[in-house]
Amino acid sequence: MRQKLILDCDPGHDDAIALLLAARHPALELLAITTVAGNQSVEKTSLNALKVCSLAKILDVPVAKGMNQPLIRPARHAADIHGDTGMDGPEMPAPTCSLAPQHAVDLLIDLLLHSAGDIILVPTGPLTNIAAAIRREPAILPKIQGISLMGGAISVGNVTASAEFNIWADPEAAELVFACGRPITMVPLEVTHQALATEEIMQRLHTLPGPVPAFVADLLHYFADSYRQVFGFPAPPIHDPCAVAAIIDPDVIAFKEMHVAIECRGHWTEGRTICDIYGKSGFSPNARVGYALSFERFWSLLLDTLQLYE
């Protein structure tokens, strides 16, 4: 039995790689791709999703455009990391596939309501679509097997001193999702900053034949330049595929049960994930929070999957 999932994303260089992993790994059945405003506007992230699907011949999975701004705030994007298109770097032709007619929130609700409770949601951008679906149709909650999200940080943020981008972009949506009562797997910066595309990894990637690995290499070269200039990283971290890998291989990330609260109003801490490592809050854990990555296990899983593309 393959694990069914819906990828909710804002491509985005690392979202594109997460999409490729989710669509082709033999342990997974990708039911839909829903897009959201985040790294860039939802129009741009949706176009990017279609381009990736066209390039990789992922033509049997619906792509639905979702929320164009956070629940109550104006949109905030990450052009400093992902560029004006949201996926700068590779030269990509116009897509050969089209968006699904449904809004992403409607598609999420429809797929979940008609499921047997066997679908995991994998959000790799702001949680706006997921929160909007839960708020509009609470009956989907028992149908969500789990949520494996890339977002948050135990300690240091990447968009402010306190906050990681995906949570900071729509903290009210994150607050709703973390309080929804469904099993949550949180893959924070502490994990994803260990998933570095080092020189040795890039050499292994360049040995893989075909247009898809070449596209991923182009993505990572641009991403490497962004992370070197903005953060001083020696190699780019591949954030979003970690949330997919956590579903495929339970041993690829080490987790600890914690209570996670979302700060929506702090002057210095807006968008921070407050992770109660030592159980001091008195609240029961509401998430499995990752803290360590098995580097070789993760990269072997990802590179082996990219080899499956023609």
- Give the span between the Cα atoms of 56 and 50, in whole angstroms: 10
- Give the span between the Cα atoms of 171 and 54, in whole angstroms: 32
Can you say how many angstroms the Cα of residue 306 is from the centroid of all Cα atoms in its chain? 18
Strand partners, 66: none
Q: If you count DSSP H runs as helices and E runs as strands, how many of each does the chain have, helices first?
A: 12, 9
Q: Which residues are catalytic?
A: 10
Contact 162, 271 (CB under 8 A): yes
CA angle 11, 168, 104 (to 5 degrees): 45
**β-pairing verdict for 119-123 and 253-262:** unpaired
β-sheet with 63-65: strand ranges across:
63-65, 28-35, 3-9, 119-123, 144-150, 184-187, 287-293, 253-262, 273-276
Nearest to 154 by CA among 119, 199, 181, 186: 186
